[in-house]
Amino acid sequence: VTMLNNMMVALTEQGRYDEAHEYAERIPNYNISPLVANNKGVLYMYMNEPRMANTMFELAKEVPSAQYNHGLMLLCDEQYAAAADKLDEYNHVNSVVANLGAGYHDKAARNTHMSLPTGEVYYLCAIAYANDGLDELALNALARAVKYDPSYKIEALNQSEFIPYRTNARFIEITK
């Protein structure tokens, strides 16, 4: 099983999913190691086989990265509430995105404070605050995002959450 798993992982990392799948199919699911189940789950996720990926991630739930991988798959499938549930403990940008998508703006804003400060984190925080009507906090976070990465000026102009700010003097100053 170890050799089959190693080949499956190596081929998955190379993007050779069909070949990796041949090795995965030779690994029995009965009494499967949680680590191997996680690896199979990742492969099935990449192959867009969510039913099998879910099964494998459930078998691997003891493995911390399996919870995260499962959350990523749910996020990609736009199952935001379920993804937020899986990703919340990681306080990562992906947990912020999942919470925003699920409409949990307060949780998204809290998670941004636990993430490393980056333009992306500040931008997501600005969106969360804007959704909650916290104008000053939204504009402060947006200004920080723009300092990290000026391309957020253009994104903010096209972001639906910032439509109410388009006539706000500070928003205009930040995005010019």
pLDDT digits over 69-110, tens only? 999 899 888 899 999 999 888 767 788 888 888 888 778 777
| Percentage of the residues of the chain whose pLDDT score is greater than 70 | 96
pTM: 0.65
More confident residue, 95 or 162: 162
* Contacts of 23 by beta carbon, 8 Å cutoff, 6+ apart: 4, 5, 7, 8, 11
Instruction: Calculate the average pLDDT of the chain.
Output: 89
Q: Is the predicted pLDDT of residue 115 greater than 70, yes or no?
A: no
Altogether, the residues listed in the chain come to a count of 176
Task: Compare 172 and 77 and report the one with higher pLDDT.
Answer: 172
DSSP per-residue letters across 107-142: HHHHHHHHSPP-HHHHHHHHHHHHHTT-HHHHHHHH
Q: Does residue 116 have a pLDDT over 70?
A: no
Taking the C-alpha atoms of residue 72 and residue 86, their distance in angstroms, rounded to an integer, is: 9
Tell me the pLDDT band of 113, cut-offs 50, 70 and 90. low
Comparing 77 with 40, the larger pLDDT belongs to 40
Residue range 54-74, pLDDT digits in tens: 999 999 988 888 988 999 899
